[in-house]
Amino acid sequence: MKLIQGILQGKVRPLAKAISLVEDNLIDKEELIDQLYPHTGKAAIWGVTGPPGAGKSTLVDKLIDRERSQDHRVAVIAIDPSSPFTGGALLGDRLRMQRHSLDPQVFIRSMASRGHLGGVSWGCSDAIKILDAAGFNTIIIETIGVGQTEIEVVELADLVMLVLAPGMGDEIQAMKAGVMEIGDLFVINKKDLPGSEKLKAEIEYVLNLSSDNPEQLPPVILASAQKSEGIDELWKKLSTKYQQLVKSGYLSARRKERIKKELSRIILYKVHHLLDKKIALQDNIDNWAEQVYLKKDMPYTMVNKQINRFKKEMRLDDSKN
């Protein structure tokens, strides 16, 4: 495939085209990814997540500066939501990073979530592999503005930064399950706003409650991305944290876990499609629903009947082979 050569040489057009291929989920993507896969594993992958308006994009913009000062090549995938009604999307994260658009060592790509609900998009994990193979040292994934449960970035990134801003709730919010549990690092952005110190104390308190090992606590850093304050500290902590991950062997454990999850996801997705076709769900669902609506069949009786029919057909298929 011509694309592959271009990507490995770090050319922008083939790289961008390849990302579209995985976003559009075209069948060619499988060969592409499998051929690039041996070249992956070198990049550090950072996840940046947090509620809408917390300042994720502005923070990423500043982190790009710090990475560039080390001569690192940086790629950013910035995800924004697709409309569940029209499928359209307004992708505006890059607006805050546009001053890097002429730096050939920085690649920024906006992605729409396209109906995926975990805070990232379907194509994201493959896009990361493409960027990794293209030789970027650092890949930053900026999720959509998340609520409490969109934590899938943890399955993509080596290290997750949770960006919060004051004014979003008390310590009970911080104790809830979900997004608060995935941060390797907490950033309280907009530190000049009232309540930032208090939020920091509350988060530290909650983190203390849930940890037996105070040494391993995720750092909580006050910053103002817009005023470029606290960025150096954040960036240093990030690097230290990453070094720790590598040394402790936790990074490879995380990556193995990631592969496990990804394989499961793809297998289930494919099986689901196979089954969908086999059961002919789309053709029959109206009829089945009608039967249940009229109470001619009970819901579970109907479901089990269809499953049994399917099992029987599978056995017939098996004996034929």
Partner 1 sequence: MSSKNVRILIAKPGLDGHDRGAKYIARALKDNGYEVIYTGLRQTPESIVQTAIQEDVDFVGLSLLSGAHNELFPKVVELLKQNQAEDIIVFGGGVIPEEDIPALNQQGIKAIFTPGTPIKDVVSFIEKNRKT
**Of the candidates 178, 129, 164, 152, which has an alpha carbon nearest to the alpha carbon of residue 47?**
152
The correct pick among 2, 69, 71, 86 for binding partner 1 (CB under 8 A) is 86
Nearer to partner 1, 18 or 180 (CB): 18
289 near partner 1 (CB under 8 A): no
Q: Using CB under 8 A, which of the segments 13-21, 36-44, 194-202, 284-292 binds partner 1?
A: 13-21
Q: Does 16 bind partner 1 (CB under 8 A)?
A: yes
Q: CA 151, 156, 157: angle at the middle one, nearest 5?
A: 95
Structural tokens at position 108: 């920024």
Write down the least CB distance from residue 208 to partner 1, Å: 41
CA–CA gap between residue 163 and residue 49 (Å, rounded): 6
Of 26 and 303, the one with the shorter C-beta distance to partner 1 is 26
Give the three-class secondary structure for 161: strand
Q: Which is closer to partner 1, CB of 98 or CB of 284?
A: 98
Q: Which stretch binds partner 1 (CB under 8 A): 63-71, 107-115, 228-236, 294-302?
A: 107-115
* Touching partner 1, residues 17-46 (CB under 8 A): 17, 19-20, 23-27
Tell me whether residue 82 or residue 196 sits nearer to partner 1 (CB atom).
82
To partner 1, the closest distance from the beta carbon of 130 in angstroms equals 12
Tell which one of 39, 68, 72, 114 touches partner 1 (CB under 8 A): 114
Burial (CB < 10 A; 0-12, 13-18, 19+), residue 14, is buried
If we measure between CA atoms, which residue out of 53, 45, 94 comes closest to residue 189? 53
Q: Single out the residue of 146, 155, 129 nearest to residue 264, CA to CA.
A: 155
Q: Which stretch binds partner 1 (CB under 8 A): 30-38, 110-118, 137-145, 295-303?
A: 110-118
Cα separation values, 66 from 7, 93, 106, 249, Å: 25, 19, 12, 26
DSSP state of 225: T
Site string for partner 1, 46-85 (x = CB under 8 A): ------------------------------------xx--
Reading the block at residue 144, the tokens are 């959509």
Look at the alpha carbons of 260, 131, 50, 148 in this order and tell me if their dihedral is positive or negative: negative
Q: Smaller CB distance to partner 1: residue 246 or 267?
A: 267
Count residues contacting partner 1 (CB under 8 A)? 32
